[in-house]
Amino acid sequence: MSSWAGKPFTARIPEFQHLAVGDHVPDGPPEAGCEFIVARLEPDHHLVLHSEDHLPAGWKERYGAWIDWTWAFVLDDLGDGRTRFMFRSRGRAGPAWVAAGYLLAVIPADFVTSRQMLRGVKSRAERTCADRGWTLPGNGRPTAPPLCD
């Protein structure tokens, strides 16, 4: 989640700082009824969120629609004082018309929102690291020791 009601997050939300497998993470306002469940978690390495809730209300019952969707966030220690952040989204949906709608509408929209989220993560990471005085010799861009918090 990079924003809520169009406003970017600028502070940590305390209840989401100590996640565990099985925890529920809301994706949008409460009335949307969409959430992820923490499927896998290894602190300082990866977080995998899973959802079967990202459908319009009533579609499961009315049309037999389903969705199975994951987001994976991975930190890869490059061993030279840098950390690579990887993000992957995977999903399947049915019946065929829901899958087609997912491919035509959700994937392009998810691409746009994911890029915004990653830009926000990058901006906050660089700002935090610059505030701490960490730089990478040579290019002067802010970077942090592997897996800093």
Higher model confidence: residue 1 or residue 141? 141
The reported pLDDT for the residue numbered 137 is 47
Q: In this structure, is residue 58 part of a structural domain?
A: yes
Range of the domain at 66: 13-131
Region of poorest pLDDT, from 20-24, 34-38, 76-80, 135-139? 135-139
Query: Which CATH number characterizes residue 20's domain?
Result: 3.30.530
CA atoms within 13 A on the CB side of 22: 0
Q: In this structure, is residue 145 part of a structural domain?
A: no
Q: In this structure, is residue 142 part of a structural domain?
A: no
Number of domains in the chain: 1
Is pLDDT of 5 > 70? no
Question: CA-CA distance, 15 to 35, in Å (whole number)?
Answer: 15
Q: How confident is the model at residue 82 (pLDDT cuts 50, 70, 90)?
A: confident
Q: In this structure, is residue 1 part of a structural domain?
A: no
Q: In this structure, is residue 147 part of a structural domain?
A: no
Q: In this structure, is residue 81 part of a structural domain?
A: yes
Question: CA-CA distance, 19 to 129, in Å (whole number)?
Answer: 24
Q: How confident is the model at residue 87 (pLDDT cuts 50, 70, 90)?
A: confident
Q: Which two tokens stand for residue 115?
A: 């890029």
73-102 in b/e burial notation, b at 16+ Cβ within 10 A?
bebeeeeeeebeeeeeeebebeeeebbeeb
Is pLDDT of 68 > 60? yes
The reported pLDDT for the residue numbered 2 is 44
Q: In this structure, is residue 38 part of a structural domain?
A: yes
* Average pLDDT score, the chain: 79
pLDDT tens, 102-139? 888 877 888 888 888 888 888 877 776 666 666 644 45
Q: In this structure, is residue 2 part of a structural domain?
A: no
**Strand stretches in 12-65, DSSP E:** 24-26, 35-42, 46-51
**Taking residues 31-48, what's their average pLDDT?**
91
